[in-house]
Structure formats: C-alpha cells, structure tokens
A = this chain, B = another copy of it.
Amino acid sequence: MKLLEEKISNVGQVIGTDILKVDMFLNHQLDVALLDEMGKEFHRLFSHKSINKILTVESSGIAIAVMAAKYFNVPVVFAKKANHKNVGTELYTVKSYSFTHGKEYTMAVSKKYLSSEDNVLIIDDFLAGGNASFALLDIINQSGAKLEGIGIAIEKGFQDGGKKLRDMGIDLKSLAIVESMDEVKGITFRNDC
C-alpha cells in the first residue's frame, strides 16, 4: 500500500537493522485518516471472504481492527494480554512471548465472543517472528472458529513469521513488507501488495 510505505519512509525511524519505530502514527500517536485508508484496503483485500468477526490483540491492533471492521460491518474482538480477570473465567488462553517487551504473557479471549460459528479475520499492526499471530491462531483453533485470513499493517519481511504463515497455506496480506532497513541506507519494501 503506497500510502503506508510513504508514511513509513517519511516519518518512521530505523534503529540499527531491526527496530522500526512508528509510534508517531501507529503505536502511540494514531494518524486516524491513514488508519481509515488502511481499514478500507483490508476490506478490499478480503472482501471476497465471508468474514463475520475481526480478531486482534490489545493495544496497538485495536485502532486498525476497528477501522477495518467499519468497512466489513462486523464486530471486533480484542485478545487481552493482561488484566483479563474482569472478562470472566470462561476463557481461551495461550502463553506467548513478546520480543518487544522481553517477557512472556498470557493472551486471553472470552469463550462468549468466539466460537465455531465464526469466520475470522485476524488484524494486527506488526508481523515479525509471528508470535502474536501464532497465539491468535491457537485461540481460534481452541474456539473451533474458521480462519479466513490475516491482515497485517507492517511485516518485517526479513524475519520468518510471514514465510511460516504463508507456508501453512494461510491467506496473509501485509499492507507494507519491509525487505530490509538500515539507519543510513533507509528502508526497502517488497513489491507484494
């Protein structure tokens, strides 16, 4: 998605060869007009699927998921990473590991909001090694819901999460795939979408 690639190139901040900071428009401050265009693009990419629910994970996935959901006209369910005591005791849970925060956490979704009746699109802000996506897949499997696809804002193409998911036959679409990045040479995108 040209608009997102340009935004990443113009204001994203590369630290070393691995860290891409986009907190100025995606992770802390939110460029809502851009998020709206991203939501529209996710709908264009997956509109041929019969999706009745969008699943994401707090916090950074919520804004994009909601914007997409508006075009699909379906509800969003966001998995809780912490403080999920107040969503009840009937939960699907899975342990995952966050490299960003260097710690293990438990992801949870209430059984009330995901079941074998659901056709689910996962939406998230980042895909690198794929830990968050695999945790969400685990929850979908526990629920018996059908996975229709995964939509990612920014994929780090030089890490293996995307390859693993595509090799499983999953319909994964990323709006921007960073092929390589470097503080001096800048960012190169893969021409995939």
Query: Which residue numbers of A lie inside 8 Å of B, CB to CB?
Result: 21, 23-25, 27-33, 35-36, 58-59, 62-63, 66-67, 69-70, 73-78, 80, 82-83, 85-88, 98, 100-101, 109-110, 112-113
Contact = CB atoms under 8 A, between A and B. Distances in A.
A87 B20 CA distance: 12
Given A28-B109, A32-B66, 10 more contacts: A21-B86, A24-B113, A28-B80, A28-B113, A29-B77, A30-B62, A31-B75, A33-B73, A58-B59, A59-B62
Contacts of A29: 75-77, 110, 112-113
Contacts of A110: 23, 28-29
A63 to B, nearest CB: 5
A7 B46 CA distance: 30
24 contacts: A21-B86, A23-B87, A24-B113, A25-B75, A27-B86, A28-B77, A28-B109, A29-B77, A30-B62, A30-B66, A30-B77, A30-B78, A31-B75, A32-B69, A32-B73, A33-B73, A36-B70, A59-B59, A62-B63, A63-B63, A63-B66, A66-B67, A82-B82, A83-B98
A32 B85 CA distance: 24
- Give this chain's copy count: 2
Contacts of A85: 101
A112 B70 CA distance: 30
Contacts of A88: 23
Contacts of A66: 30, 32, 35, 62-63, 66-67
B28 A78 contact: yes
A67 B63 CA distance: 9
